Amino acid sequence: MNPLKEFLTTLSSKNSAEKINVDSIYDIKINAINGKPINLTEFKGKHILFVNVASKCGFTPQYKDLQELYDQYQDKLQIIGVPCNQFGKQEPGNAETITSFCELNYGVTFLITEKVDVKGKNKHPLYSWLTEDINNGVKSSSVKWNFQKYLVSSNGTLIDYYMSTTNPLSSKITKHLK
């Protein structure tokens, strides 16, 4: 897609934001990569870092730092990786392929969801909440590439989002966990 067309698409998607029918992020339904429902209310009292992930991206080595962040702060942080194939078709695998890739190459033990869309007309409700101020009450954004991160506070409020270039171990993120 050319930059002008992508910009116009982003503008039109911002203008078409609709309120999703949930009281909080904890009410959003999404499945784990194994197909079992994830109950986000289990993470009340912890920060949640949502990251749209892909196995064939230049940022894929961030899995290592995401795992290190999770190991260091898992008492107060839940990381949830959200596979997405919308950026350069860099997550082509099925659930089994994605799971084994994450475990074998990066020792991932944090939660991975089913593969979803994070933008466009089929955007998952989780990303409608994360990216639209009408839903999160804080700010709107658009997911620009793989490994963009969204940090939600321990009480379910969006804190901020961080571009793909922000390392998971950055003080921009860790300062909220200390």
- pLDDT tens, 31-75? 999 999 999 999 999 999 999 999 999 999 999 999 999 999 999
State residue 18's pLDDT score: 86
* 131 neighbors 140 (Cβ within 8 angstroms): yes
Give yes or no for residue 119 having a pLDDT over 90: yes
State the chain's mean pLDDT as an integer: 92
Kindly give, in sequence order, each residue whose CB lies less than 8 Å from that of residue 148, ignoring residues fewer than 6 positions away: 51, 52, 161, 162, 163, 164
Angle at 104 between CA 90 and CA 94, to 5 degrees: 40
Question: Is 57 labeled as catalytic in the residue annotation?
Answer: yes
- Of 144, 2, 40, whose CA–CA distance to 84 is shortest? 144
Give the domains, in start order, of the chain with CATH numbers: 28-174 (3.40.30.10)
Residue 128 in 3-state DSSP? helix
Q: The pTM is what?
A: 0.90
Predicted confidence (pLDDT) per residue in 3-17, tens digit: 555 555 555 444 468
Q: Which of 51, 54, 57, 143 is catalytic?
A: 57
Q: Give the torsion sign (CA, 125, 131, 134, 135).
A: positive
